[in-house]
Chains A and B, each alone.
Chain A
Amino acid sequence: MGGTVGSPPLSCGNAVMTVRTITVLISLVAFVGILFGLVVVAGSTTDRSPNDPWTHVPVKLAPVEHTQFFEGTFEDGPSVTRACLGCHEHAAEHVMRTSHWSWAGEDAVDPLSGEPIRIGKKNLQNNFCISIAGNWPRCTSCHVGYGWRDGTFFETAGPEQVDCLVCHDRSGQYQKAATGAGHPAKGVDLLAAARSVGRTTRASCGTCHFKGGGGDGVKHGDLDETMYFPPERVDVHMGKHDLVCADCHKTEDHRILGRLLPPDRAEGTRVNCTDCHGEAPHDQDRLNSHVKTLACQTCHIPTFAVETGTKMWWDWSKAGLEGDEQGIAERLTHEIQQDPSAREGMPAGVVAMFERVGSDPDLWTHYSKKKGLFLIARRQVPEYRWYACTTQRYLPGEALADGEVAVINRPNGGARDPNAKIWPFKIHRGRQPYDLRDGHLLTPHVFGAGGYWTAFDWDLALRTGAEAAGIGFSGEFGWRTTEMYWPQNHMVQDKEYSLGCTDCHGRGGRMDWKGLGFTGDPAFQGDRRQMDLLRDGESDR
């Protein structure tokens, strides 16, 4: 079929050939480059997200079916634990190192005495049920262990007393007895529970954390039972994107990330929005510039207790009244609304809320002979404070500073603190007993024989409670108004429902700029760092 015509084009080494080769290469590279560019251009018009938060959500391994591992009946909780430890031999050890077990934080130094101290739920006080001291069988129904009946528990407890089921049960029927020191309630099918175990669910956490303070939504403001299956309007992470608690509260060896009120700036213990969303998550510079002053939560949690009410005021001093509890609540509310003397010692904000009871459907009161008078609220606008993510915790036995209101966990930070940002808080206020002579808060023994809830004798309850807590009691007590700060982290709204400019800036905004230490609205007066427009007598609010 004939021979080759022409010469092989690239074999010639002369200059023209070289130039031609280069020409070929240039045009090929340019063409490929252009095509690639076009693909990128066409692709980029649809997908603009530079930083996809989903990449930070943990990928879960396929669960192991546990049904066939267990036979026969389990007589009690510890026997289930022993079965678990048969395979997961270090699990109990891990759990016993966590604060879920110890109800205490890391080793720290007591700023008052200089002594080493470990503080936590175990020994701290709040202004809800005040303290677990003396009330163990009731309070420890939320402990991840079995049998914490008294102060000696940790000296004797062994690995089999770790309650695996309370977190890992997926049968839905496992329950701890309300007053059983953590033991399962009667009628729980332990075998079914053991066979059901698996990865934690929202219920694993919610069963205790949604009911902190003794009931649905009482304590946190941003956590309640609507969070089991929240609509999008309650929480965007769990309602719209179907996350579970452990997606953010990442866990390793049973150490669960996330600590609401750390006493110090222990990095790495907190769950931050920026872990997934980055430091500049908005597509507008103006919004991103807010990040250095505001916590994400400030705009993205416009209200807390979105659907279920949370306690805003707990007045222990009103406990013990006989009669119809509904009637007493109404009478006390009426008194507060009408009689200035009934409002004595009440913070102005609480009085204002009481005044709206009856006309505002989101506010109501409740009375319990055992516990006193409550003000419960829903859909509340948070209060805003500087917060550097550490708190100054009131320690047991510490004499209270003078002043109207005693703060149990003062958020550290101020306008001049570079680490502090403005955070939304639920501030729970209340009145609780304190030692009139020594000036420290008291810890009533309420549950069980001789407790206030059976004897209704404050003197007795405070004496036995003080003994159990290891603090003094002079025998004279009074009522002290206290505040507790609950930073808001859940019930997050996406941009559609978060705050807009006018919610804080301009007339009628929700921020108390002067109270926060600004000369005025920073939208017009300037930012705290750039313009240095802070008030001279800056407050630490």
Chain B
Amino acid sequence: MNTSVKDTMESTFAGWTETVGNAMLEGEARMSTRNTDVFYGDKQAIFGVDLDIGKNEVLAMIGPSGCGKSTFLRTLNRMNDTIDICKIKGEILLDGENIYDKNMDVVSLRARVGMVFQKPNPFPKSIYDNVAYGPRIHGLVSRRAELDEVVETALRKASIWDEVKDRLDQPATGLSGGQQQRLCIARTIAVSPEVILMDEPCSALDPIATARIEELIAELSENYTIAIVTHSMQQAARVSTRTAYFHLGRLIEVGSTDKIFTAPDHKLTEDYITGRFG
């Protein structure tokens, strides 16, 4: 980063001291980050984020492009490990354990913190094999009948069972975009994670498919903790219980979704939500 850009960034955040709102929860948090910094090489992408994600809550993360919300989401299940130059500082706790601890195995972490991606990405295999893949690689089931049951339950929970039950052996790539995304959610559920991370899960879908996914998120929140990154503010408003606003790598404001979308406290949040240039 050259000095002039750095200067403007400093001045932008001259008044920035700490996150507005209730980033930390009173009760027990499923995941929490403490003073988390993320670097890509020399460039810092996330600046000291403190945030709790409560049990069975849907936390929406919003912010302009490049604000670091996706980066932050991906640090929560160490998907950034695949990028060599990515370095993470600070603590990220899952049920009180630091996920970047040496003892934490990344494979078992990802079975506990599942992820649904922006573009539906089913494996080019059958619908059944897509859902069965997770349980198979982790050796979660021993008998075929048990696996059948797991697949059916996962597909039911992702409310796609009725659409695919007669063609489980057909390639998943033949499904529509919305069905593919629900299949990907079913695939994630099949390893029974505690937390599901969703990275703009509806950005490639039409409004009706989007509505179905949003409905699904509401149902899933009864059993899972969900963190969702979205570009659509309406979507954040509809699906989430709490909303976090990121700006240039900083967590600006966190609060109940009702409050953020009617009367946010921070000027930056206000400007973003109302569609203003700052």
Are chains A and B native binding partners rather than an unrelated pairing? no
